[in-house]
Amino acid sequence: MKFDVVTIFPAMFERPLAEGVLGRAVSRGTLDVTVHDLRDFTTDRHRVVDDMPYGGGPGMVLKPDPIFRALDAIEAEHGSPAAVIMTSPQGTRFTQAEAQRLSRLPHIVLLCGRYEGVDERVRERVSEEVSIGDYVLSGGELPALVIIDAVSRHVPGVVGDERSVAEDSFSRGLLDFPQYTRPATLAVRRTGSANRDVVDAETLTVPEVLLSGNHAEIRRWRKMQAISRTLERRPDLLAGAALDEEERHILRVLQDGGHHGRD
Ligand code: 9D3
């Protein structure tokens, strides 16, 4: 899959695209990400990318002509992209379902907004406008990286173990169950205690069931934990969750709040 990114801060993409799952996918060639500096598409001596808004008001607006030239250059080199996505606070919300949909496209251009906005005429060349959530960021670069990361995970070969992509929370609509690793007992200083006296120590343990070797019980415990956590922290997710028979039963029991009988 190919991404072309247009930004005034190309350096913001260097490390995130060189580390971890994305880094490996890029070096293997499974992912091809080209980052374009918008200033390279200016024609003036000072490489100006922004200007004052017509009609007055605070802040600066990204000029349209360098953006049009950048999009023309990308199209001249790789043909018409399947999507030109502009990151913007006015965009529709980016979700896991959107990430899955976009992962089936061969070539995506990401246009990163900055300043107070982008000249409206740029939307002529934009197929979708995307926001990553209701909080104010300084620009569209971090959102573009979020989109590349979430989309790429669904591209075959990017994540080593395909099962972990399928089982990811939000794909299933449930939060993760708690995880533990060795040691089975962990001596820790009591919170709020200033010294490291043994009397102030406590032992944190791992739930017995996980050490039991009873895999049917472990599966049930994990389902119960995932569902109770989701019910407590993100009840909104349960409406769209794909639950099996056993999970629906656990949910009913938890929602029942321990009530029995007719009332
Ligand atoms: C809606 C806020 N605007 C009111 C005048 C100003 C403004 C704030 C922040 C304009 C641009 C930005 C920069 N943010 C993005 O470009 C952005 C963003 C975000 O701030 N939050 C969540 N998703 C995104 S995607 C792009």
The amino acid present at 158, given as its one-letter code, is V
Q: Is the CB of 66 under 6 A from ligand 1?
A: no
- Phi then psi for residue 126, to 5 deg, are -105, 130
The 10 Å Cβ neighbour count of residue 104 is 11
CA separation, residue 106 to residues 87, 90, 109, 147 (Å): 19, 25, 11, 15
Q: Is the CB of 139 under 6 A from ligand 1?
A: yes
Ligand 1 atom at minimal distance to the Cα of residue 88: 26
Under 8 Å between Cβ of 166 and 160: no
Per-residue pLDDT tens for 78-91?
A: 999 999 999 999 99
Candidate list 89, 200, 220, 234, residue with the active-site label: 89
CA of 238 to the centre of ligand 1 (A): 30
Per-residue pLDDT tens for 166-198?
A: 777 456 789 999 999 999 999 999 876 666 555
CA of 220 to the centre of ligand 1 (A): 43
Residue with tokens 């994540």: 159
Residue with tokens 């790789």: 78
Candidate list 50, 114, 153, 172, residue with the active-site label: 153
Under 8 Å between Cβ of 130 and 145: no
pLDDT grade for 232, boundaries at 50, 70 and 90: very high
- Candidates 86, 114, 136: which one to mutate for ligand 1, based on the most atoms within 8 Å of Cβ? 136
Q: Whose CA is nearest to atom 7 of ligand 1?
A: 116
pTM for the structure as a whole: 0.94
SS3 39: helix
Please give the Cα distance from 89 to 57 (Å, whole number): 18
